[in-house]
């Protein structure tokens, strides 16, 4: 009551203050003091409002999340911009805005230009920048639109006094963007703007360890973007930067639409979410370059986003197999023992990796000739057996080796490709595994040639098949450099987002460090992006085949060049769970070849956890088992015989689905389709799916429901309303559209095939190269209308240009009239691998089958299972490329 009395007294003295600070709800407050240490005095110095949250004043019960509700917030009359002129242009409008009063951040820019660009029917772009001086912009090759599209799915309105933008969906009137909720601030090192969200249901905004649904119904949340080497924990900026989100729109008619936003900005950034619902972007450099994607489906949003950042890479075929690694083989004898153990246990696997312990003194592009004395020959032996080998490369290049003894450093010095100190030609030194290091500047035009040269030189010694680029945030064991950082505004900006360590130089190099394109201040979060480009180019140049690159640090668009894993996770059931929203989010971000360290990298795994995780990992797009130095072996063959059999079945299940996986990668690269996706992508009108992230879909056809809890034998899952069959048994699921408990003993992972889909499969081999010529299987899952469809893309799995030259086979499958399966070979240009169909398994055949014909000829090798309603046609040996169209029919009783 005393506090309320003080407010009343203050309002009597300053009526204007109370009027401008009046708020009907806590959720409408926008933080005017986002730094730590906010006080009433500091707040008022900024001419902002200071009040206790309304819920706390009106209740004796502490408001659950009031710690995040700002006490200091913007008044209604806070200085902002006003429109001076609006000019119609070929691309839309160009607006000049200015303001007469500055705000609390230094170097306020008072004259701004706003470009409103009507790029496509579903894509709108807002660019706000300094009218006088050129500022840093993300060095992206994005589509440049010269002419405004005339028909749009969105309506744009400009408020002039004060300036704001309102964008609504024409068909529903739903708000897609509304910047009137909070003032625009545009200073040299502090840019802040807000917009209303359509609903509190928001997805994306990575890389962070979090649930898939960032539900802000009753929560305030801050997400920070500045690439950082740190094991995945919540509420921390992690390895990559992806300021893209998808927002679900709830319409009055019960139908749902989706839209997305992407802020093309690489500077350190906070994104604040609040239950209004609203989103606030705060970045400390660059410009405002915001894309709005209007969908209306979630898949449309993905397509529209990938049109800007680029589609995912088509990976080499072998990279879809099982990968095995650990930090701590320590000797080639231990590595050989693991390989032999896996061979003796008859485990399919394709790729063997080594970590930094295989290097000589942790030096890039070396191997330890004592402890790994025969590594080159071992790699060649693996390759002769159809396997592949990947080694690790860190960006820190040792600068303390004797002159002339270490090519990466010596050649880099000659080509001037290392990052330098601020306003100097002196190299900036950090410390990583090999000791004192310097850091390549992959934005330098000479860097790719230098990188290719040293990669090639080492490849001549150890013929590795792929590159693992780690520590590329870039990571530094020091803060800044061995000499510290400067006192200038780049190293000490007036505002620092909520980065781990409290400083932009924490465990990385100084922001003031100079790169070819700009300062590290602007380019830090893109370091891994540019390294991935150089690595991808190097491997293509050397091997003349598709590249396989695995990068820890990523930026928007990295999926064009690299795969990704979720970093140094731990051997816990929680970490296993968080891997699912991570891989789902990265598929949204256009990095579809993604996985997590199976069984956990840090801590000691258990047999139960590793078994469960191997089952889940069999359904990751990228499947690698990897663990840390000092932990016990966790390769599948190191466990009990019983556990081995369960893990083996999971791996064999994956290998049988490789044709399906490979086709999905082709669709991602060519048609912007996600490979794994949340349930709400396919069942967007079912609100039960909006926050499900313990299950996921492979493509649109397979539902995976892993057991993520220790010592349990059931899993609580949601089966969406559709036709589903158990995989691999083929038995039809009876209860759909409900939450249910499924049996999930240690020996089982629950997977279900969706009716209406035809899934191409293959009989597995010891590895993917050995199994490439094995016979195919078609799994036909009938829908409620007794039809189904599917497709298959097949090439040599390695050629860089097979798609461009059409050196591939492309087949489409369709089931019609409940008894006619058609195989259409639309492209038949790849002849080096037989495509023979051996088995057709048809699910949901609810009438007895009395006969089968293949291309009009009677065929007797079939079985019909009456209780399970499954038709099995076997022993076909049918060449699927023999003719353009082939028909398999069966006769059913009426």
Which one of the listed residues 473, 597, 628, 693 is annotated catalytic? 473
DSSP codes joined into one string, 356-413:
GGGSBTTBTT---TTTTTTHHHHHHHHHHTT-EEEEEE-SPEES-SPTTS-HHHHHHH
Residue-wise over 848-861: b if at least 16 C-beta within 10 A, else e?
Answer: ebeebebeeeebee
CA 739, chain centre distance (Å): 28
Active site residue 722: no
Active site residue 473: yes
Q: What is the DSSP letter of 102?
A: -
Positive or negative CA dihedral for 753, 758, 763, 765?
A: negative
φ, ψ of residue 107 in degrees (nearest 5): 60, 45
Positive or negative CA dihedral for 654, 656, 662, 668?
A: negative
How many other CB atoms sit within 10 Å of the CB of residue 654? Answer: 22
How many other CB atoms sit within 10 Å of the CB of residue 645? Answer: 14
- Distance between CA 390 and CA 354 in Å, rounded? 7
φ, ψ of residue 459 in degrees (nearest 5): -65, -30
- Distance between CA 778 and CA 781 in Å, rounded? 10
Strand order in the sheet with 154-159: 154-159, 164-169, 175-178
Bond into 162 cis (ω within 30): yes
**Percentages of the chain per state (helix, strand, coil), in multiples of 5:** 20, 30, 50
Q: Which of these, 888, 891, 892, lies nearest to 758 by C-alpha position?
A: 888
State how far the alpha carbon of 392 is from the alpha carbons of 326, 549, 551, in Å. 11, 10, 10
CB 702 within 8 A of CB 781: no
Q: Which of these, 250, 244, 308, 233, lies nearest to 281 by C-alpha position?
A: 244
DSSP codes joined into one string, 759-792:
EEEE---SSHHHHTTSPEEEEEE--TTS-EEEEE
Task: Indicate the pairing of strand 623-625 with strand 322-324.
Answer: parallel
CB 651 within 8 A of CB 347: yes
Which one of the listed residues 119, 178, 441, 470 is annotated catalytic? 470
Bond into 277 cis (ω within 30): yes
| DSSP H or E segment with residue 859 | strand 857-859
- Distance between CA 477 and CA 508 in Å, rounded? 7
CB 650 within 8 A of CB 682: no
- Distance between CA 408 and CA 92 in Å, rounded? 49
Q: What is the DSSP letter of 887?
A: E
How many other CB atoms sit within 10 Å of the CB of residue 641? Answer: 7
How many other CB atoms sit within 10 Å of the CB of residue 173? Answer: 10
How many other CB atoms sit within 10 Å of the CB of residue 86? Answer: 14
CA 100, chain centre distance (Å): 43
Torsion (CA) 762, 768, 773, 774 in degrees, nearest 10: -40
State how far the alpha carbon of 88 is from the alpha carbons of 92, 121, 159, 290, in Å. 6, 18, 16, 20
Angle at 61 between CA 60 and CA 62, to 5 degrees: 115
- Distance between CA 781 and CA 786 in Å, rounded? 9
CB 703 within 8 A of CB 695: yes
Q: Which of the residues are catalytic?
A: 470, 473
């Amino acid at each position: 009551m005393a506090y309320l009395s003080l407010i009343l007294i203050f309002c009597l003295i300053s009526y204007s203050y109370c009027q401008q600070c009046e708020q009907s709800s806590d959720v409408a407050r926008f933080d005017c003091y986002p730094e730590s240490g906010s006080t009433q005095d500091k707040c008022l110095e900024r001419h902002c409002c200071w009040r206790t949250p309304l819920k706390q004043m009106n209740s004796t019960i502490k408001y659950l999340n009031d710690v995040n509700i700002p006490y200091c917030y913007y008044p209604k009359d806070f200085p902002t911009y006003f429109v001076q002129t609006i000019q119609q242009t070929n691309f839309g409008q160009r607006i000049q805005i200015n303001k007469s009063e500055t705000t609390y951040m230094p170097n306020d820019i008072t004259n701004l230009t706003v470009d409103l660009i009507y790029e496509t029917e579903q894509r709108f772009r807002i660019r706000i920048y300094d009218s006088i001086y050129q500022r840093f912009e993300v060095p992206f090759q994005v589509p440049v639109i010269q002419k405004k599209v005339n028909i749009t799915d969105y309506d744009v309105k400009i408020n002039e006094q004060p300036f704001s933008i309102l964008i609504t969906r024409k068909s529903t009137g739903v708000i897609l963007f509304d910047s009137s909720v909070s003032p625009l601030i545009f200073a040299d090192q502090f840019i802040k703007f807000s917009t209303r969200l359509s609903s509190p249901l928001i997805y994306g905004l990575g890389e962070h360890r979090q649930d898939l649904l960032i539900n802000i119904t009753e929560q305030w949340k801050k997400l920070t973007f500045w690439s950082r080497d740190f094991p995945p924990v919540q509420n921390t900026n992690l390895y990559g930067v992806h300021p893209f989100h998808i927002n679900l729109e709830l319409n009055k008619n019960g139908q749902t639409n989706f839209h997305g936003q992407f802020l093309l900005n690489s500077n350190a950034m906070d994104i604040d979410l609040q239950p209004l619902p609203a989103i606030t972007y705060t970045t400390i450099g660059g410009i405002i370059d915001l894309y709005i994607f209007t969908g209306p489906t979630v898949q449309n949003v993905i397509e529209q986003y990938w049109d800007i950042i680029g589609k995912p890479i088509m990976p080499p075929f072998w990279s879809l197999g099982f990968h095995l690694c650990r930090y701590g083989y320590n000797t080639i004898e231990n590595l050989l023992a693991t390989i032999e153990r896996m061979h003796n246990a008859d485990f399919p696997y394709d790729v063997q990796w080594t970590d930094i312990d295989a290097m000589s003194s942790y030096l890039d592009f070396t191997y330890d000739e004592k402890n790994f004395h025969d590594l080159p020959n071992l790699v060649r032996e693996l390759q002769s057996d159809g396997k592949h080998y990947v080694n690790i490369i860190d960006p820190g290049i040792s600068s303390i080796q004797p002159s002339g003894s270490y090519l990466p450093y010596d050649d880099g010095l000659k080509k001037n490709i290392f990052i330098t100190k601020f306003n100097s030609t002196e190299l900036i030194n950090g410390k990583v595994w090999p000791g004192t290091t310097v850091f390549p500047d992959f934005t330098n035009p000479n860097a790719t040639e230098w990188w290719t040269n040293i990669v090639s030189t080492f490849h001549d010694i150890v013929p590795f098949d792929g590159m693992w680029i780690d520590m590329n945030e870039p990571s530094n064991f020091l803060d800044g450099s061995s000499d510290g950082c400067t006192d200038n505004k780049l190293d000490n900006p007036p505002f620092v987002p909520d980065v781990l360590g409290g400083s932009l130089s924490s465990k990385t190099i100084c922001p003031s460090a100079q790169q070819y394109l700009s300062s590290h201040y602007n380019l830090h979060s893109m370091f891994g992006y540019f390294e991935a480009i150089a690595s991808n180019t190097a491997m293509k140049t050397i091997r003349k085949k598709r590249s396989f690159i695995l990068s820890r640090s990523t930026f928007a668009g990295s999926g064009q060049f690299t795969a990704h894993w979720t970093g140094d996770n731990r051997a816990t059931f929680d970490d296993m769970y968080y891997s699912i929203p991570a891989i789902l989010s990265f598929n949204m971000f256009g990095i579809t070849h993604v996985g997590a360290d199976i069984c956990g990298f840090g801590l000691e795994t258990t047999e139960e956890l590793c078994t469960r995780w191997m089952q889940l990992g069999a359904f990751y797009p990228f499947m690698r088992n990897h663990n840390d130095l000092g932990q016990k072996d966790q390769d599948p063959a190191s466990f009990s015989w019983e556990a081995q059999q369960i893990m083996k079945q999971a791996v064999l299940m994956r290998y049988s689905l490789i044709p399906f996986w490979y086709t999905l990668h082709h669709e991602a690269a060519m048609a912007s389709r996600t490979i794994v996706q949340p349930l709400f992508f396919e069942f967007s009108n079912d609100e039960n799916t909006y926050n499900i992230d313990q299950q996921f879909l492979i493509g649109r056809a397979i539902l995976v429901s892993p057991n993520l809890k220790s010592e349990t034998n059931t899993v609580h899952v949601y089966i969406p309303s559709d036709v589903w069959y158990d995989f691999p048994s083929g038995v039809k699921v009876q209860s759909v559209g409900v939450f249910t408990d499924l049996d999930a003993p240690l020996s089982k992972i629950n997977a279900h095939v969706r009716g209406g889909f035809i899934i191409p499969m293959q009989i597995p081999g010891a590895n993917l190269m050995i199994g490439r010529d094995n016979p195919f299987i078609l799994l036909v899952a009938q829908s409620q209308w007794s039809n189904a469809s599917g497709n298959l893309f097949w090439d040599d799995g390695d050629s860089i240009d097979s798609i461009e030259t059409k050196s591939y086979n492309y087949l489409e499958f369709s089931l019609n009239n409940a008894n006619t399966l058609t195989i259409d070979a639309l492209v038949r240009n790849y002849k080096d691998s037989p495509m023979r169909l051996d088995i057709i398994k048809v699910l949901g055949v609810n009438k007895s089958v009395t006969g089968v014909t293949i291309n009009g000829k009677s065929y007797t090798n079939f079985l019909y299972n009456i209780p399970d309603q499954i038709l099995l046609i076997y022993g076909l040996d049918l060449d699927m490329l023999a003719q353009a169209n082939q028909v398999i029919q069966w006769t059913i009783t009426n």
